[in-house]
Structure 1
Amino acid sequence: MNLTSTPSPTDAADSSSTPSIRWLEWALVVLLFFLFVGPLTPEVNEPHYLSKARQYWNPAWCPDDHFLNSADAHGVFYWSFGWVTTMVSFPVAAWIGRFLCWGAIALAWQRMINKIDGRPWFGLLTIASGLMGIHYLHMAGEWLVGGVEAKCIAYAFAFWGIGDALSDRWNRAWIWLGVASAFHVLVGGWMVVCLMICWLVTPRLRPTLVSILPGVIVGGAISAIGVVPLLLLNLDASPAEKDWASYYYVYERLSHHLVVHTFQAEFKARFTFAILAWGVTAWLVRSHDKARILNGVVLGSVVLVVIGVVIDQMYFIVLQDWLTGAKLLRLYWYRIADVMVPLALAVNMVLWCHLNRERFPVISRGVLVGMGLLVVVGLAVRMTDRWTATASPADRSSLVSDPAAWETTCYWVRENTPPDAICLTPRLQSSFKWYAQRAEVVTTKDVPQDDLNLLEWRSRRGDVHWRSFHNEETLSLAGLTEADIRELADKYQVRYVIVDQALARKDGKVLDWTFPKIYPAGDDQTASYEVYEVTP
């Protein structure tokens, strides 16, 4: 069966709901995303992405920040959205970006899911269930809906492309996945691999290889906009530098996303359950052609997981060649499955209920009611956490000692220091540039993507945070001596030091520097943060 010969592709049950209902459903999906994420900024990754995006368009902003001056791995995202950050504040830019991403994901999801089942509210129920599944069943910390960053846009284009594959427009599908790859190489690239695996395992439904070559070629050319700059990032690095940069990136900085044997046993168990449940439901709806295509894509993501696990076990345990293993594990093998398995599980379950509502009416209604209750309970728990929080997700994730005092201190730095100042900042924070808009020597969160700058980043961490811990076993900068500070000032042109005194007091550390304390004024002994100026 050659589906490319179909003269006018049709969508499943397209006429079963009116445009007004479709738009209402889309709005409810966006509302769901808003309720899920909560009212505060910044999200965990927003200071990282949006500060890089602003400096991309305005190099004079924080001109001497090491991370901001490192290579750009997501140039298409910075180019297409970064200009917004130069016109409005970071929080406003974040909200603009969030609603753009959420709206795009909701629209692409709704379009994709309508190819499988066009009944009203099918898209809402499946994305709600899938979103809860991603949040509570993920293994490697991947997410679909959150702050604004490159992968959110990539997922929207990927869903749009899968929707075209479901409509037998495979050439368009490859093109849209090429656009997704341009925005985020790993999300788009792995989706291409997953769709290729789908093409291989659905011989009755797939078009011929020759017929899809134009889409593959055009999509590949578009993806080169993002892929080629990424491939050129490390031309100046030696093989040894590349090896060690990958090692530090994978095993020291991002093992919680990349190294499966370090994942919590609970995370691995629940995700294994999700894969098994998906496999069962995929078998139950195997007679539905559109579901077979979607599940073929998800099978591709599961294959990637298996490859990642094999690499992890082979190079870490059997061969004990950690350097080679790190280079391979750097590719985020578990990213797509973390998202697609829960989504497809939800789709399969709801679809099975619709297909069997007459044959098994009690079971079908029971499954739908159960899913609805799980969604309500899961969303209530999530909303309770997000909507009652007194600190932003970024500050909570980095364990800021006193979020309110941290923001106040950063705003003071912004108002009372030169725009080109370079600061030493606390280890347990990731939002200094967001609030203070000043350059930092190093931030744990802001790991560069090119190998040479990644090695420099690690060296800076050693000079600052690890030295402090080595001196006096504290993550506070109070562990640095005055001689250390002067050395760092000479090496990195540091002018200001922000000390987490709440952490220092907890660790029993007392500063004996002779530098003037410029914030807070007076002899307040209870301030959570203090700012010192490094003087000659």
Structure 2
Amino acid sequence: MPSPVESPINEHPDHTASGTAAKHAWWWIALEVIAFVGLCYLYASAPAPAVNEAHYLIKAKNFWDSSFCSNDFFVTSGKAHTTFYALFGWPTLFFSLSTTAWIGRLIAWAMVGFGLQQCCQRLKLPVFSSTIVALLWIAGIQAGNFAGEWVIGGIEGKVPAYGLALVGLSRVIGRQWKQAWIWFGMSSAFHVLTGGWCVVAAAICFVVTERGSAWLPRLRLPPARDSQTKAAPFFCWQLFAGGAMALFGLVPAVMLMRGVSTEDATLAAHIYGSFRLPHHLLPTRFPTLWYLRFSALVVLLLLFLPRQTHRPDRVQESADSNGAAARLFYFALATLLIAGCGLVIGYSYHWNPDFAVKLSKYYWFRLSDAIVPLTVALLVIRWLSERPVSVPRPLGLDLMAKGAIALGIVIFTWGAVQSARFGIPKSCRHRYLGIGNEPGAGIQRKRFADWLALCDWVRIATPEDEVFITPRQQQTFKWYAQRAEVVNWKDVPQDAQSLLQWKQRYDHLFQRQQGDLTYYTVRVPIDYRKLRDFRATYGVRFMVVDNRVVSPFAEVDQLPLIKIYPVGEQENDTFSVYELPYGHNR
């Protein structure tokens, strides 16, 4: 029997008049998880690698096999996500990177699916509600995110972290605080920011729900527990055990900042926050549309504010359900409070940029981007599945809930169709490479085939320790060619010292031309003196050229360099490889 301190809701709630044990036996839970994984596959069925998979898995492969791209600047830089590398990287010893990615996807999706099922169960939603909740959640993130966050896609550290965090959230919903701290600690081990922000949000939720029951009714907010129920303790051994688990994610992250001066740390923060990732970190750079779409989600959240429902035949169940929904709601509000702090920090960039970039790197909007649409989805389904007796049911909210489901289905279907239609990895689509307008699927498949042909030639024809200069508009050279690069826009290191070197290398190679920033103005200059300098500085012999970027007016074959690919009967319309000039600059 649960103690009166915890007073958790029933672990196996009865959703109908019969079959309690059968409906929530483990095999029923497994079926829900399998259904969720199938939904994820429909949505993210594009081949690996997805946008961040190459970034994560090449480091994971090097973690287990130090000879892999051992002379690549990024691969050998500081490793922030060691738990992920250790637990998800070992398949690279036996399988290809693509197979490893799919193994990781399926495991991580199953973890997220289990966490979501647990949330639905503790809200007493009908069996298999997690499937429609998942559809609405995925659509809500896609169409309503504020800072570019996503959960379902490729495999990276935050995906299993979200899976564990959702189990922790389900414990918060069920008022099982002690268990929640353990799950959030495990989440932090995989991704310290994802799990860490969950701890902060849960702590805020705890204070409101366990210490604020006296004043919540006066604010016309839903109470999360009966005033006669004993408040739960905050400090417990599970809280400290969760903190100990979080050290597996925290310590590697802290180690990345060692050995640099305050000035260098500030400069590195500017590079990371205002140069490389302002679209995730600095709200002053976000388009107005991002504010509007996320505001729409917040409005929906407030419209479906948990309301008291009463079933005379199920008094305790009604009370448990109301309290569970209230705790979910306050957790979501806590994520919005965190995001609000991020807004204040971000807008301080106008008068104190050093302060703003130093703090903005903690991704203040990450958790709200994921939790707000999830909460909306859960509350919408709860609204439609509940049948309150004593409280009138507004017709407008009924229509809005059903409209949200219809819109979610449309958005989800559109995303799934786009993923399948192109038939190439998301990381190789023009839209995600900054190559202007996105052409049709046929054109992109042809250019992707050229990219594979180039990488295959590099992998077969060059030594394993070869280093290449590669085009700015790509992120998968190491994935396919398995050779080192001088620098890569996507592969930005996370330790301060390497960040400074990354920026130096990037500016050295990709010297921006005069005029507006376009596809043609960010490219390696064809200048003998500079190319000799590259060869001497980085020990690089070869340069991969994107023929579309050489010049909008010149033919690629007119370059005054020795072409080594394609030659003879080899064909490649999109990419070429040239040998850099050698000798001494005068």
| 1:288-319 CA-partner distances (Å, limit 9, x unpaired) | 10011111111110001110111122x223xx
Equivalent in the alignment of 2:220: none
Letter of the aligned partner of 2:252 in structure 1? P
User: Following TM superposition, by how much is the alpha carbon of 1:59 offset from its aligned partner in structure 2, in angstroms?
Assistant: 1.0
Moved more, 269-278 or 419-428: 269-278
Higher helix share: 1
Q: What pairs up with 1:135-534 in 2 under 5 angstroms?
A: 135-203=142-210, 204=213, 205=224, 208=231, 210=233, 212-284=235-307, 288-313=322-347, 315-317=348-350, 320-356=351-387, 360=393, 366=399, 369-396=402-429, 397-399=432-434, 402-466=447-511, 474-475=520-521, 477=523, 479-506=525-552, 508=554, 514-522=560-568, 527-534=573-580
Structure 1: state its 5+ residue gaps. none
Q: Answer yes or no: is the 8 Å Cα contact 2:53–2:156 preserved in 1.
A: yes
Instruction: Measure, in 1, the Cα distance between the counterparts of 2:345 and 2:46.
Output: 40
Moved more, 447-456 or 514-523: 514-523
Q: Answer yes or no: is the 8 Å Cα contact 1:304–1:333 preserved in 2.
A: yes
Secondary structure of 1:531's counterpart equals: strand
| 1:507-535 CA-partner distances (Å, limit 9, x unpaired) | 54757665421100139897211111236
Instruction: Measure, in 2, the Cα distance between the counterparts of 1:264 and 1:368.
Output: 28
Equivalent in the alignment of 2:313: none
Instruction: Measure, in 2, the Cα distance between the counterparts of 1:65 and 1:285.
Output: 58
User: Following TM superposition, by how much is the alpha carbon of 1:163 offset from its aligned partner in structure 2, in angstroms?
Assistant: 1.6
User: Following TM superposition, by how much is the alpha carbon of 1:261 offset from its aligned partner in structure 2, in angstroms?
Assistant: 1.6
Instruction: Measure, in 1, the Cα distance between the counterparts of 2:521 and 2:463.
Output: 27
Secondary structure of 1:61's counterpart equals: coil
User: Following TM superposition, by how much is the alpha carbon of 1:248 offset from its aligned partner in structure 2, in angstroms?
Assistant: 1.1
User: Following TM superposition, by how much is the alpha carbon of 1:367 offset from its aligned partner in structure 2, in angstroms?
Assistant: 5.0
Instruction: Measure, in 2, the Cα distance between the counterparts of 1:478 and 1:384.
Output: 36
The answer as to 2:41 corresponding to 1:34 is yes
Instruction: Measure, in 1, the Cα distance between the counterparts of 2:113 and 2:255.
Output: 34
User: Following TM superposition, by how much is the alpha carbon of 1:23 offset from its aligned partner in structure 2, in angstroms?
Assistant: 3.2
Instruction: Measure, in 2, the Cα distance between the counterparts of 1:85 and 1:475.
Output: 37
Instruction: Measure, in 2, the Cα distance between the counterparts of 1:8 and 1:386.
Output: 40
Letter of the aligned partner of 1:295 in structure 2? F
Q: Percent identity?
A: 30
Equivalent in the alignment of 1:93: 100
Q: Answer yes or no: is the 8 Å Cα contact 1:301–1:336 preserved in 2.
A: yes
Letter of the aligned partner of 2:290 in structure 1? F
Q: Answer yes or no: is the 8 Å Cα contact 2:157–2:190 preserved in 1.
A: yes
Moved more, 267-276 or 46-55: 267-276
Letter of the aligned partner of 1:161 in structure 2? G
Instruction: Measure, in 1, the Cα distance between the counterparts of 2:572 and 2:552.
Output: 12
Q: Answer yes or no: is the 8 Å Cα contact 2:8–2:175 preserved in 1.
A: no
Moved more, 152-161 or 520-529: 520-529
Instruction: Measure, in 2, the Cα distance between the counterparts of 1:30 and 1:469.
Output: 49
Q: Answer yes or no: is the 8 Å Cα contact 2:104–2:155 preserved in 1.
A: yes
- How many residue pairs get aligned? The number is 532
Q: Answer yes or no: is the 8 Å Cα contact 1:478–1:510 preserved in 2.
A: no
Secondary structure of 1:388's counterpart equals: helix
Q: Answer yes or no: is the 8 Å Cα contact 1:478–1:509 preserved in 2.
A: no
Letter of the aligned partner of 2:483 in structure 1? R
| 1:213-251 CA-partner distances (Å, limit 9, x unpaired) | 211111111111211221121210100000011011111
Q: 1:334 to 1:3 in 2, by over 3 A?
A: farther
Q: Answer yes or no: is the 8 Å Cα contact 1:9–1:168 preserved in 2.
A: no
Q: Answer yes or no: is the 8 Å Cα contact 1:427–1:475 preserved in 2.
A: no
Letter of the aligned partner of 2:492 in structure 1? V
Instruction: Measure, in 1, the Cα distance between the counterparts of 2:64 and 2:232.
Output: 42
Instruction: Measure, in 2, the Cα distance between the counterparts of 1:415 and 1:188.
Output: 42
| 1:474-501 CA-partner distances (Å, limit 9, x unpaired) | 3464633122111111111102110011
Residue from 65, 70, 75 that aligns with 2:77: 70
Instruction: Measure, in 1, the Cα distance between the counterparts of 2:406 and 2:6.
Output: 44
Q: 1:212 to 1:198 in 2, by over 3 A?
A: same
User: Following TM superposition, by how much is the alpha carbon of 1:447 offset from its aligned partner in structure 2, in angstroms?
Assistant: 0.6
Q: Answer yes or no: is the 8 Å Cα contact 1:197–1:299 preserved in 2.
A: no
User: Following TM superposition, by how much is the alpha carbon of 1:30 offset from its aligned partner in structure 2, in angstroms?
Assistant: 1.0
| 1:192-231 CA-partner distances (Å, limit 9, x unpaired) | 0000011011124577564642111111111112112211
After superposition, the CA RMSD in angstroms is: 2.6
| 1:379-402 CA-partner distances (Å, limit 9, x unpaired) | 221122111114321011114683
Q: Answer yes or no: is the 8 Å Cα contact 1:478–1:511 preserved in 2.
A: no
Q: 1:366 to 1:514 in 2, by over 3 A?
A: closer
Equivalent in the alignment of 2:219: none
Q: What pairs up with 1:125-140 in 2 under 5 angstroms?
A: 125-140=132-147
Equivalent in the alignment of 2:218: none
Q: 1:276 to 1:370 in 2, by over 3 A?
A: closer
User: Following TM superposition, by how much is the alpha carbon of 1:365 offset from its aligned partner in structure 2, in angstroms?
Assistant: 6.4
Letter of the aligned partner of 2:433 in structure 1? S
Instruction: Measure, in 2, the Cα distance between the counterparts of 1:9 and 1:126.
Output: 21
Instruction: Measure, in 2, the Cα distance between the counterparts of 1:8 and 1:278.
Output: 23
Q: Answer yes or no: is the 8 Å Cα contact 1:278–1:345 preserved in 2.
A: yes
Q: Normalising to structure 2: TM-score of the pair?
A: 0.85
Q: Normalising to structure 1: TM-score of the pair?
A: 0.93
Secondary structure of 1:503's counterpart equals: coil
Secondary structure of 2:550's counterpart equals: helix
Instruction: Measure, in 1, the Cα distance between the counterparts of 2:398 and 2:303.
Output: 19
Q: Answer yes or no: is the 8 Å Cα contact 1:476–1:504 preserved in 2.
A: no
